[in-house]
Amino acid sequence: MRVEEEAQAAVLNRLRRAQGQLAGVIAMIEAGRDCKDVVTQLAAVSRALDRAGFKIVASGMRQCLAAAEEGGADAPPMTEAELEKLFLALA
């Protein structure tokens, strides 16, 4: 599965944002910041990673549907079970 260009840009933006947030969490812990503030930022990192993962899976689903309509692709389309497993891995 390849991520479409448009989806790839969105995924990379979300991952870069999460990377910056995670660096912020590390700095907060090193500075001895309040636990509530650290957990709040850590939750934001988690949401950003989840959204990136969902975007990747959604792009893959769109590609599978398009390949099925076209009657083939370079690689066999993912099965429903494989897609479900990917979604559940993000939960």
Best CA proximity match to 4, nearest among 46, 67, 86, 68: 67
Instruction: Assign a CATH topology to domain 5-90.
Output: Methane Monooxygenase Hydroxylase; Chain G, domain 1 (1.20.58)
Distance CA 37, CA 35 (A): 5
Q: Mind listing the pLDDT tens digit for each residue in 13-70?
A: 999 999 999 999 999 999 999 999 999 999 999 999 988 888 888 887 777 666 666 7
- What's the pTM value of the predicted model, to 2 decimals? 0.68
Q: Mind listing the pLDDT tens digit for each residue in 25-40?
A: 999 999 999 999 999 9
Domain ranges for the chain: 5-90
